[in-house]
Chains A and B, each alone.
Chain A
Amino acid sequence: MTSQSLTPPVLELRNLVVEFVTRHGTLRALDGISLSIAPGEVLGVVGESGAGKSLTGAAVIGLLEPPGRIASGEVLLAGQRIDHLPMEDLRHIRGKRIGTIFQDPLTSLDPLYRVGEQLIETIRTHLPVSEQEARARAIALLAEVGIPASEKRIDGYPHEFSGGMRQRVVIALALAAEPELIIADEPTTALDVSVQAQIIAVLKKLCRERGTAVMLITHDMGVIAETADRVAVMYAGRVIEIGPVRDVVKSPKHPYAKGLMGSIPALDERPERLLQIEGAMPRLTAIPQGCAFHPRCPHVMPRCHEARPVLEAVGAGQVACFLHEVGQ
């Protein structure tokens, strides 16, 4: 058995910078993202919309939409750099080694093809199996994601499935080639509250069984608290805190993370009032100098205006805030 420390993380981002070149100048949408996901681990990525969560996912699988591009930094899949691979090599990684689940199951599937046809084409794109084998595998996958009578439903069209069922199909598609990593981008946001928990449960169970790592992008802290092993909190294109889920949810260190966690009502406590962060996240065109959060921060210090804090180890996690600088 190889020792734990020798196994490289499934995914590692090193100082990833994504930029958009527009006629108003170059916008930095992701500014030095560093994080890693261990095999079988579920990493939650949280933040407000526009913080760069989805963009991080898109950058990993090489599907940034122009004019977006990776300006610098590295993306490593199981220790190998993939950010500079040619398009065709990246394509072989997508679907095969990294599965993806998008937000809206209603529009993720091609309405003109049967569910089975889409599964079979995905399986056969990545695995050397015959049509029959692929079909058998597709039926098994559908059964695994909890679609009853899967050998019949496989010949249905997407519009014949409910939203929750379609998202199960999408999960089956993401798992079709047994990937090492799944990037789930807001997988439950578009669904009814009643089915959200089921979908998360299915995703969690299947990934645990297979040892598949998950990058779970969401703004739903409840889902994170229940599902993730570790959490990365993003703000204005930067990771401002990352650590084990218990620590970050129960005792967040960064003032922004505190505000974010404070905005979830807990059932077992009765807080006087929910915490709220003043103001709104800056637009990409107007990210403040120094710490991007300083204009809204209740603990702002003079140096926050000038210098940008970097992620530093605090306890079991890392925080990018001068309040928690070593030695303070």
Chain B
Amino acid sequence: MTIPSPSTGPSSSGDSLWSRIMAHDLTYLFFRSPLTVVAAILSVAIILAALLAPWLASMDPFDPAQVFLADANIPPVWQDGGDPRFVLGTDDQGRDLYSAILYGMRVSLVIGLSGVALAATIGITLGLVAGYLGGRVDAVIMRVADVQLTFPAILIALLVNGVVQALSKGTSRETWAFGVLILSIGLSFWVQYARTIRGSTLIEKNKDYIHAARLVGQPTPLILLRHLLPNVIGPVLVILTINLGLAIITEATLSFLGVGLPPTQPSLGTLISIGNKYLFSGDWWIVTFPGLTLAIFVLSINLIGDWLRDALNPRLQ
């Protein structure tokens, strides 16, 4: 009782990502979903704002010379005691919240993107190797993945953080916090990529073009990268999108828990953490604005990811 879908004919069943995108009329579906369009616009706006932070911000919150403690805890401009210099108010160190959010978004984004990139690189490599070589290598990699999958990412990230902190006794947090966060995220999220890639590799490796490449005597790394990778990378797109949201949440959570970025390099999570301390005294703005920015950004990314997953799922067509 299946109806042949008019959009997927033999002409469009090619394996490359591009032809698959075209076959699914992604652009058409995109504009059919107004919520996704709004989410995309918001995401792009937030990313642009983060990139252009030095030009959009009224001050550099990282520069101690521009920050004065006397300006601490000033409410937003529309409240009593507001100061026109600080539209969204200031935090406990006198930093302009609007500027701090722009710079903080930048930090969150860089860490999130790098963490996801690291996770994808580790996961894709291990997945390809495990799927292609099989045997003992496969067994070891997948067993490690299974064990790790039982732990939530945040726990792995905390452990990595704790270990690095122990190993780097004496050095200041500023010097390594950035790298450790990226490493924590990378090591927490690789499993999903590895499993997905391994699954598709197991199917693809028995196809003729791989046999052919092997028969011609191409070296294994070349086969993996040139032939296998382009044909198994498709589903990773959705995971990447959804993971970016998760990575940014993880960074914010770690910073909130006090094991992420120090208050001198505030990310959104750090700002929320600072704001949380002043919530009871009624200084609501310090936690609200960074929290709202974080929530809107992650929600937008997740909306896009959700839509992408449905749009690329042939069964929902």
- A/B contact in complex, CB under 8 angstroms: yes
Residues of A within 8 A of B (CB): 20, 22-24, 27, 29, 50, 54-55, 58, 65, 68, 283-285
- Of the candidates A23, A58, A284, the one whose C-beta lies within 8 Å of that of B4 is A284
Q: Mark B16-33, 1 if CB is under 8 A from A, else 0.
A: 000000000000100000
Which residues of A are found within 8 Å of B219, using beta-carbon distances? Answer: none
**Docked-complex contact A283 and B4, CB < 8 angstroms:** yes
Q: Nearest chain B CB to A235's CB is how many angstroms away?
A: 15
**Docked-complex contact A55 and B4, CB < 8 angstroms:** no
**Docked-complex contact B6 and A27, CB < 8 angstroms:** yes
A-B contact pairs, 22 of them (CB 8 A): A20-B3, A22-B6, A23-B28, A24-B6, A24-B7, A27-B3, A27-B6, A29-B3, A50-B4, A54-B1, A55-B1, A58-B1, A65-B1, A65-B3, A68-B3, A283-B4, A283-B6, A283-B9, A284-B3, A284-B4, A284-B6, A285-B6
In the assembled complex, the Cα of A27 lies from the Cα of B6 at a distance in Å of: 9
Which residues of B are found within 8 Å of A20, using beta-carbon distances? Answer: 3
Question: What is the interface of chain A mostly: helix, strand, loop, or mixed?
Answer: mixed
Across the interface, name the chain B residue whose C-beta is closest to A64: B1
Which residues of A are found within 8 Å of B9, using beta-carbon distances? Answer: 283
Q: Nearest chain B CB to A229's CB is how many angstroms away?
A: 25
Which residues of B are found within 8 Å of A65, using beta-carbon distances? Answer: 1, 3
Q: Nearest chain A CB to B192's CB is how many angstroms away?
A: 29
In the assembled complex, the Cα of A51 lies from the Cα of B219 at a distance in Å of: 49
Q: Nearest chain A CB to B76's CB is how many angstroms away?
A: 46
Q: Nearest chain A CB to B2's CB is how many angstroms away?
A: 9
In the assembled complex, the Cα of A29 lies from the Cα of B9 at a distance in Å of: 17
Chain B contributes a number of interface residues (CB within 8 A of A) equal to: 7
Which residues of A are found within 8 Å of B28, using beta-carbon distances? Answer: 23
Across the interface, name the chain B residue whose C-beta is closest to A63: B1
Q: A23-B28, A283-B4, A284-B4 are in contact. List 9 more A-B contacts (CB 8 A).
A: A29-B3, A50-B4, A54-B1, A55-B1, A65-B3, A68-B3, A283-B9, A284-B6, A285-B6
In the assembled complex, the Cα of A22 lies from the Cα of B25 at a distance in Å of: 13
Across the interface, name the chain B residue whose C-beta is closest to A57: B1
In the assembled complex, the Cα of A22 lies from the Cα of B29 at a distance in Å of: 13
Which residues of A are found within 8 Å of B3, using beta-carbon distances? Answer: 20, 27, 29, 65, 68, 284
Which residues of B are found within 8 Å of A285, using beta-carbon distances? Answer: 6
In the assembled complex, the Cα of A2 lies from the Cα of B41 at a distance in Å of: 74
In the assembled complex, the Cα of A50 lies from the Cα of B1 at a distance in Å of: 9
Residue among B6, B9, B28 facing the most chain A CB atoms (10 A cut-off):
B6
Which residues of A are found within 8 Å of B1, using beta-carbon distances? Answer: 54-55, 58, 65
Across the interface, name the chain B residue whose C-beta is closest to A284: B4
In the assembled complex, the Cα of A58 lies from the Cα of B2 at a distance in Å of: 11
In the assembled complex, the Cα of A73 lies from the Cα of B3 at a distance in Å of: 20
Q: Mark B205-217, 1 if CB is under 8 A from A, else 0.
A: 0000000000000
In the assembled complex, the Cα of A54 lies from the Cα of B4 at a distance in Å of: 13
In the assembled complex, the Cα of A23 lies from the Cα of B6 at a distance in Å of: 10
In the assembled complex, the Cα of A256 lies from the Cα of B4 at a distance in Å of: 22
In the assembled complex, the Cα of A20 lies from the Cα of B7 at a distance in Å of: 14
Residue among A23, A27, A58, A65 facing the most chain B CB atoms (10 A cut-off):
A23
In the assembled complex, the Cα of A283 lies from the Cα of B5 at a distance in Å of: 10
Residue among B3, B7, B9 facing the most chain A CB atoms (10 A cut-off):
B3
Shortest 6 CB-CB contacts between residues of A and residues of B: A285-B6, A54-B1, A24-B6, A58-B1, A20-B3, A283-B4
Across the interface, name the chain B residue whose C-beta is closest to A58: B1
Across the interface, name the chain B residue whose C-beta is closest to A27: B6
In the assembled complex, the Cα of A65 lies from the Cα of B4 at a distance in Å of: 13
Residue among B1, B7, B9 facing the most chain A CB atoms (10 A cut-off):
B1
In the assembled complex, the Cα of A22 lies from the Cα of B28 at a distance in Å of: 13
In the assembled complex, the Cα of A27 lies from the Cα of B3 at a distance in Å of: 10
In the assembled complex, the Cα of A29 lies from the Cα of B1 at a distance in Å of: 11
Across the interface, name the chain B residue whose C-beta is closest to A24: B6
Which residues of B are found within 8 Å of A24, using beta-carbon distances? Answer: 6-7
Which residues of A are found within 8 Å of B6, using beta-carbon distances? Answer: 22, 24, 27, 283-285
Across the interface, name the chain B residue whose C-beta is closest to A285: B6
Across the interface, name the chain A residue whose C-beta is closest to B3: A20
Q: Mark B44-65, 1 if CB is under 8 A from A, else 0.
A: 0000000000000000000000
In the assembled complex, the Cα of A55 lies from the Cα of B6 at a distance in Å of: 17
In the assembled complex, the Cα of A237 lies from the Cα of B9 at a distance in Å of: 19
In the assembled complex, the Cα of A22 lies from the Cα of B3 at a distance in Å of: 11
In the assembled complex, the Cα of A29 lies from the Cα of B7 at a distance in Å of: 16
Q: Mark B251-272, 1 if CB is under 8 A from A, else 0.
A: 0000000000000000000000
Q: Nearest chain A CB to B22's CB is how many angstroms away?
A: 15
Across the interface, name the chain B residue whose C-beta is closest to A67: B3
In the assembled complex, the Cα of A68 lies from the Cα of B3 at a distance in Å of: 9
In the assembled complex, the Cα of A55 lies from the Cα of B2 at a distance in Å of: 8
Across the interface, name the chain A residue whose C-beta is closest to B9: A283
Q: Nearest chain B CB to A20's CB is how many angstroms away?
A: 6
In the assembled complex, the Cα of A233 lies from the Cα of B98 at a distance in Å of: 73
Q: Nearest chain B CB to A53's CB is how many angstroms away?
A: 10
